[in-house]
Amino acid sequence: VPVQYALADTPRLRAGWDPSASGQRVIHRLLQVEERYAPSLLYVSLTQQEPRRREELAQWALEVCCDCGCAEAVFPLAVSLMDRFLAGSLAPPVWPVRPLWPVCLAAGCILIASKLTECETVTAERLCAAAQHHFQPSNLRDMERVILSTLRWDTAAVTPQDFLPHFLASLEEGGGTWEPDLLSMLRRHSDTLASMCACDSRFLGTPPSLVAAASLNCALRGLGRAGPAELALLGEVLAALCRTDVAVLQCCSEMIEGALRQRLRRGLERGASEKEEEVENERPGTPTDMRDIDF
């Protein structure tokens, strides 16, 4: 995975892609490791019955990662740490009585994920500020130790973002005209879709490799740069890369597209309601008397 590094008095730079760290060997190893970090079936079942709290927490973590300018690998790793911690310590959706405990947990997972994937890590003080200082940095560091102890310091989980660059490199090696701008756009769109899946409990328990392949498949469809025959061929390649059936890949892709349409519809409805509320607030409470107007 490309590594970010920073030099004194210079902007943040990103290391170039290393072809020797890609290929079928790396994908095969990621496929083997991803099974070890899958949440338990009990946790998946209980969470999907009452998904609201978990999705709100994941959405808060996404907003914090965006506001702090974290790398794209921080958020999915933080959500993976949170799910594994909850699966190993308690049975959701039975949350602790203290209402701020889940927020502190999410902040602790972001802190750990940032330390694993970034050189310029997000600070505990900034995470406390994002939580409106409802807990102190000392509380956050205590939570960090609890998470690490529960997970036995096994924190380098495999996420969909780990598969995306390797899948893109495999598609590029397969032939065809892949412009750098197109590859960058595909990576950006598929990363956004994979992050959306991390917030949606319906994809909880889905292998990261399948989420990555389906997100990339949806990004290819959405860009409209390929015809039906080429899309079908690329779908077969992606299904082979993540070792699943083409029908399973298409089903997961349709679920992602449906979740995206639902999220966009909610955003439009929320924007319309906020606009109506703003107009209503600007509207005077009583009709203006014509005699009060100075022409």
Domains in the chain: boundaries: 39-151, 160-258
- DSSP SS3 for 116: helix
Average pLDDT per consecutive 10 residues, the chain (295 residues; last block may be shorter): 38 58 83 90 89 92 93 94 84 44 92 92 92 89 91 93 91 71 88 94 93 94 82 90 94 93 81 59 43 34
Task: Report pLDDT for 254.
Answer: 94
Task: Report pLDDT for 60.
Answer: 94
Task: Report pLDDT for 110.
Answer: 96
Task: Report pLDDT for 22.
Answer: 66
Residue type for 61, please?
A
Domain 39-151 part of CATH 1.10.472.10: yes
Task: Report pLDDT for 62.
Answer: 95
Task: Report pLDDT for 274.
Answer: 60
Residue count of the chain, please give it: 295
Asked whether the beta carbons of 234 and 217 are under 8 A apart, the reply is yes
Which tokens go with 196?
A: 């959306």
Same fold: 39-151 with 160-258: yes
- Candidates 2.60.40.730, 1.10.472.10, 3.50.50.60, 1.20.1070.10; correct CATH number of 160-258? 1.10.472.10
Asked whether the beta carbons of 226 and 192 are under 8 A apart, the reply is no
Residue type for 55, please?
E
Which tokens go with 163?
A: 């598969």
Rounded to whole angstroms, how far apart are CA atoms 110 and 81?
A: 9
Of 256, 257, 259, 233, the C-alpha closest to 246 is: 233
Which tokens go with 187?
A: 């990576």
Rounded to whole angstroms, how far apart are CA atoms 71 and 121?
A: 10
Rounded to whole angstroms, how far apart are CA atoms 100 and 186?
A: 37
Which tokens go with 168?
A: 């893109």
Crossing angle of the two packed helices 208-223 and 246-282, in degrees rounded to 10: 70
Task: Report pLDDT for 133.
Answer: 87
